Amino acid sequence: MLELTWLGHSCFSIATGKHSILVDPFLDDSPAAPCKSGDVNADFILITHGHFDHIADAAKIAKRTGATTVSNFEISQWLARQGVKETVGMNLGGGVTFPFGRVKMTIAHHSSTLPDGTPGGNPGGFLMTLDDEDIYIAGDTALFSDMQLYAPAVLDLAILPIGDLFTMGPEDSIDAIKLLKPNRVVPCHYNTWPPIAQDVKAWAESVRSQTKAIPETPRPGGKITL
């Protein structure tokens, strides 16, 4: 059994029973976070791209916990320069089998400059296979039709941004769900700040009426099990 906790914005914690996997840690300065970076456990930290709202607390948490970071190659080198000891640098289309399961880095149409202005390589997403569950984390991205190529025959869960402005908005996320055909879908990257405020109840209603996916809309700190 997997337990997925939304920590606000695009930050998620996935507990497999054996491992804790943290995705896009942005807690200490996030108005939507239900906890601080010092409160979370991590064995692995996955980072989709270099923007502060996805990487702000990554080095801090990795150094405290000894977690291994998983990101693109440029970001892995930047984290190593911040003193992170265990980094795995990958690139688009590549996959790695970790003790907790397999992770493939997928395309995202976005940008990736790091907080200090260092070029952060290409933005990405992650397709993960954990305990026979296939989870697609789109990352910050626009809608793109090749998304459908990533979806396995049964995609258990898709995590998609819906905030608009910086990423796809609610309408494009419905088209993404039609391409991916996930069993369940969790929205993210919304309601952190006023410019990405969204009516998540209306979004969930659109998901139910226009797709076969089940929308899951935890509050920050809320969990879903897989």
Comparison of 14 and 55: residue with beta carbon closer to Mn ion? 55
Q: At closest approach, how far in Å is the CB of 66 from Mn ion?
A: 26
Sheet holding 182-188, edge to edge: 95-98, 101-107, 124-130, 133-137, 155-161, 182-188, 214-215
What's the token pair of residue 174?
A: 């419905």
**For binding to Mn ion (CB under 5 A), which residues are involved?**
51, 53, 140
For residues 147 and 185, the answer to whether their CB atoms sit within 8 Å is: no
What's the token pair of residue 215?
A: 């929308």
Q: At closest approach, how far in Å is the CB of 182 from Mn ion?
A: 21
Say how many residues make up the chain: 226
Strands 133-137 and 124-130: antiparallel
51 binds Ni ion (CB under 5 A): yes
CA atoms within 13 A on the CB side of 141: 25
Q: Which residues contact 192 (CB under 8 A, 6 or more apart)?
A: 8, 9, 30, 31, 32, 53, 163
Q: At closest approach, how far in Å is the CB of 2 from Ni ion?
A: 25
The number of angstroms, rounded, from the C-alpha of 219 to the middle of its chain's C-alpha atoms is 16
Comparison of 99 and 115: residue with beta carbon closer to Mn ion? 115
Q: At closest approach, how far in Å is the CB of 166 from Ni ion?
A: 6
**Of the residues 43, 74, 134, 140, which one makes contact with Ni ion according to CB under 5 A:** 140
Coil/strand/helix, residue 51: coil
189 binds Ni ion (CB under 5 A): no
Q: At closest approach, how far in Å is the CB of 209 from Mn ion?
A: 28
Q: Give the contact letters, 5-44, x = binds to Ni ion (CB under 5 A), - = no.
A: ----------------------------------------
Comparison of 51 and 184: residue with beta carbon closer to Ni ion? 51
164 binds Ni ion (CB under 5 A): no
Per partner kind, with CB cut-offs from 5 to 8 A, the member of Mn ion, Ni ion, none near residue 9 is none
Instruction: Report the interface residues with Ni ion, using CB under 5 A.
Output: 51, 140
